[in-house]
């Protein structure tokens, strides 16, 4: 395993100075104009590209995307530093202090016997951190509005569960799912568009809870299924093209047959 070296710190400082140069009066006009609100979309984009490079298993791409994400983090920190909001040292001090506080089994005398105990302790410590806050108002404030809907729902329901608001077992959630599907059928039968949207939302929200009870990340599960669909549909279109059949002219029976072939190859 490679160890951090003084060169790492030198390069970090070099990047900080590069950003300062970009923001300086004689720097880049575009970089000079950027505000916190402008950087939010780049942070999200770069974070997603980091995740994408992990999924693709490319260490070269991961290295590049981590660099892009680090640049945006330091760039945003520099903007805040210029306004005397906080510095990079403040950011680092904050996360170091938080991680030490949330890992008493590593940095303190707390004893744990399983990963589950670590997770439970983590939630208990977060509760303690909120003790001087209005719980009803701040309970879900740590869940970003910008999260994808599935991930946000899973985070929120996990927090609610930590406070005891949850089903007792997986079957209870599955029964709730059946109930929601029944309500959707009624909404469809009545051709009520507002109710249809609401009931579909309820089904998706309940499915997130099913995922949580089964220890499955709903966002990852859906992403994998989407990739599977794309892979199989790509096979379908390639086979149609090889047979000289434009996809717009293919019959459903032809596409179904090729789809089943693709499934067998997975």
Q: What is the 3-state secondary structure (H, E, C) of 168-235?
A: CCHHHHHHHHHHHHHHHHHHHHCCCHHHHHHHHHHHHHHHHHHHHHCCCCHHHHHHHHHHHHHHHHHH
Mean pLDDT on 25-40: 95
Q: Is the pTM of this model over 0.85?
A: no
d(CA 216, CA 62): 24
Q: Is the pLDDT of residue 134 over 60?
A: no
Mean pLDDT on 232-249: 95
Instruction: Give the pLDDT confidence score for residue 266 in this predicted structure.
Output: 83
Residue 210 near residue 203 (C-beta atoms within 8 A): no
> Residue 261, SS3?
helix
Non-local CB neighbours of 202 within 8 Å, separated by 6+ positions: 180, 183, 184
Instruction: Give the pLDDT confidence score for residue 132 in this predicted structure.
Output: 57
Q: Is the pLDDT of residue 11 over 80?
A: yes
Residue 142 near residue 127 (C-beta atoms within 8 A): no
Contacts of range 120-129, beta carbons closer than 8 Å, 24 or more positions apart: 123/162, 125/101, 126/102, 127/162, 129/101
Q: How many CB atoms lie within 10 A of CB 121?
A: 16
Query: Residue 18 is encoded by which pair of tokens?
Result: 């590069």
Exposed/middle/buried for 217, CB within 10 Å: 0-12, 13-18, 19+?
Answer: middle
Instruction: Give the pLDDT confidence score for residue 262 in this predicted structure.
Output: 95
d(CA 239, CA 261): 10
pLDDT tens for 144-181 read: 888 889 999 999 999 999 889 999 999 999 999 999 99
Average per-residue pLDDT for the chain: 92
Residue 2 confidence class, pLDDT cut points 50, 70, 90: low
Residue 96 near residue 89 (C-beta atoms within 8 A): no
């Amino acid at each position: 395993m490679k160890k951090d070296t003084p060169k790492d710190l030198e390069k970090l400082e070099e990047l900080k100075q590069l950003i300062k140069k970009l923001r300086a009066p004689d720097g880049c006009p575009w970089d000079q104009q950027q505000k916190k609100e402008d950087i939010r979309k780049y942070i999200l984009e770069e974070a997603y590209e980091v995740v994408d490079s992990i999924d693709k298993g490319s260490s070269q791409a991961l290295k590049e995307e981590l660099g892009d994400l680090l640049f945006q983090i330091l760039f945003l920190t520099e903007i805040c530093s210029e306004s005397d909001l906080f510095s990079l040292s403040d950011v680092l001090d904050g996360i170091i202090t938080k991680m030490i506080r949330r890992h008493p089994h590593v940095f303190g005398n707390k004893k744990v016997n399983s990963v589950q105990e670590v997770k439970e302790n983590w939630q208990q410590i977060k509760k303690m951190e909120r003790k001087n806050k209005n719980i009803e108002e701040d309970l879900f404030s740590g869940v970003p509005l910008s999260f994808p809907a599935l991930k946000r729902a899973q985070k929120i329901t996990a927090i609610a569960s930590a406070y005891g608001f949850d089903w007792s077992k997986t079957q209870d959630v599955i029964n709730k799912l059946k109930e929601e599907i029944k309500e959707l059928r009624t909404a469809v039968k009545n051709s009520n568009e507002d109710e249809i949207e609401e009931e579909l939302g309820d089904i998706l929200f309940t499915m997130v809870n099913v995922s949580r009870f089964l220890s499955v990340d709903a966002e990852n599960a859906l992403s994998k299924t989407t990739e599977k669909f794309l892979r199989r549909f790509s096979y379908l279109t390639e086979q149609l093209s090889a047979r000289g059949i434009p996809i717009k002219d293919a019959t459903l029976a032809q596409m179904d047959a090729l789809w089943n072939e693709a499934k067998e190859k997975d």
